[in-house]
Structure 1
């Protein structure tokens, strides 16, 4: 039998409006997922042992934020005006020395930052309009209203897609920076900086240096009446960490390390009937 019922003239245009609205909302969800990743990962600060927990907490926090709040988080922290500002990253009160602070930023001049800020706020308004007010502005129960809604949704998708591609380029830049940072963390320069207290320019942070740490270990095990023979400490360090040599720190001898660090007192004392260079803590 041939169906003689008249075709509803609204079926096709309404379905097209629904399809285009769904396409816009899916693209917005992709945008929100990507901006959440940037907000969660573009900065971190804490002790080495706590980084995983801090990262998980940031991911969980970002997952609950609306697009408007995420844009607010992005502006001024990842997207910054000029050289930006040093945002206060939440650290730790722990006495653990190995603390990491890392922040990635995209710097813009004043004009670009102001334009980007306005564009992002416009995107938030567009998202809210599509989710809450589309049928308030377009009568999708008439064919002409559906036609106008269709054109508005095509225009909206182009705007959303442009924002998404921009955000993706920001995310790619951040990922490249993270990879460079990861390579640096695995380098000898980073090891010297964090473990040995040796800056890339060769200056030494003596209180945090590896060789001072070992000198203090030697003191705790070898001291007699509060004083430790430098020769005995030298043998102790070479047996435990043979790569911790004075030359690494720009010194010719362990005695020079003791003197140059300014953390110890140096005296010649009688050790088993002979005079030897000995050291003790300066605060003793």
Structure 2
């Protein structure tokens, strides 16, 4: 056997760099999957506003540390059988009368849950040690130090890889019902019922209707002195929500829509010598 000399040190250091880089790439994959789980395992809010809510969850998750992500994942997606997971509070109001909520979890017996929680937090410590403290813990200026660093990195990679496999399984389990729900939400029957407020028998839930929601949006943009011109609102909606038409709701005109919809109030004012229709949200529909 021959001992390593100073000429061998650069090769050992290069191998340490390779192993450390491999761990860091795997950790980035790990953090990416954690963010997917946190961002997508639940969704709740006004049904007309779900796209914005989902985008906000994704953006908020992107800025969180791994420690924060793990803390959020535990007890919301990964939960013990004995405890009901926390759900976001959700209330209906006249401004957002129809809400949607979807929650997905993986449930474990309490002993398995405790083990998973411990392992998830250990991964946070492992990541922080590799990123912030590795060169303090290993003397890569010596041959023995490099060999110890290599052993530690091989063990770290094995641990990261094992946990990454678990996360991939969780993501796959989450994606199946999420994609199924997304497919249902794209059907015309779903859109008619929950986006437009039109039941299968043709009756209209005006509080939940897409056309009333569009009129509310237009009112927020155009109102003056507590009222909005219906003619101006129609122009505004035609540009932004062209699919919202009175005929879809069994009405012959926009005035009929406002007249039929309890959430809205119709009134006529004389403007420049002409009688014009104005509307506003009804505080007592």
TM-score, L = length of structure 1: 0.64
| SS across alignment from 1:76 | coil
| SS across alignment from 1:8 | helix
User: Which one is further off, 86-95 or 32-41?
Assistant: 86-95
1:185-196 to 2 correspondence within 5 Å? 185=185, 194=194, 195=197
Shift of 1:13: 0.2
| SS across alignment from 1:37 | helix
Among candidates 239, 247, 250, match of residue 240 of structure 1: 250
Change in CA separation of 1:102 and 1:151 when aligned onto 2, cut-off 3 Å:
same
Give distance in 2, aligned partners of 1:15 and 1:39: 36
Change in CA separation of 1:212 and 1:23 when aligned onto 2, cut-off 3 Å:
closer
Q: Which has the larger radius of gyration?
A: 1
Contact 2:79/2:106 (<8 A) preserved = yes
Contact 1:10/1:142 (<8 A) preserved = yes
Match of 2:168 in 1: 168
Give distance in 2, aligned partners of 1:92 and 1:53: 17
1:149-206, Cα deviation, whole Å (9 max, x unpaired) = 10110110000011111001000000011123234445799679855789xxxxxxxx
Match of 1:10 in 2: 9
Match of 2:106 in 1: 106
Give distance in 1, aligned partners of 2:193 and 2:83: 25
Give distance in 2, aligned partners of 1:33 and 1:143: 35
User: Which one is further off, 81-90 or 131-140?
Assistant: 81-90
Change in CA separation of 1:142 and 1:101 when aligned onto 2, cut-off 3 Å:
same
Give distance in 2, aligned partners of 1:132 and 1:213: 57
Within the alignment, does 1:33 sit opposite 2:43 as a pair? no
Shift of 1:32: 0.6
Which segments of 5 or more consecutive residues in structure 1 lack a partner in the other structure? 1-5, 199-208, 215-238, 242-284
Within the alignment, does 1:22 sit opposite 2:1 as a pair? no
CA RMSD in angstroms comes to: 3.2
| SS across alignment from 2:7 | coil
Match of 1:231 in 2: none
Match of 1:156 in 2: 156
Contact 1:139/1:146 (<8 A) preserved = yes
Contact 1:42/1:174 (<8 A) preserved = yes
Give distance in 1, aligned partners of 2:109 and 2:199: 36
Within the alignment, does 1:54 sit opposite 2:64 as a pair? no
| SS across alignment from 2:8 | coil
| SS across alignment from 1:68 | helix
Which segments of 5 or more consecutive residues in structure 2 lack a partner in the other structure? 207-248, 252-285
1:1-284 to 2 correspondence within 5 Å? 8-82=7-81, 84-91=83-90, 94-95=93-94, 96-185=96-185, 194=194, 195=197, 211=203, 213=205, 240=250
Give distance in 1, aligned partners of 2:199 and 2:116: 41
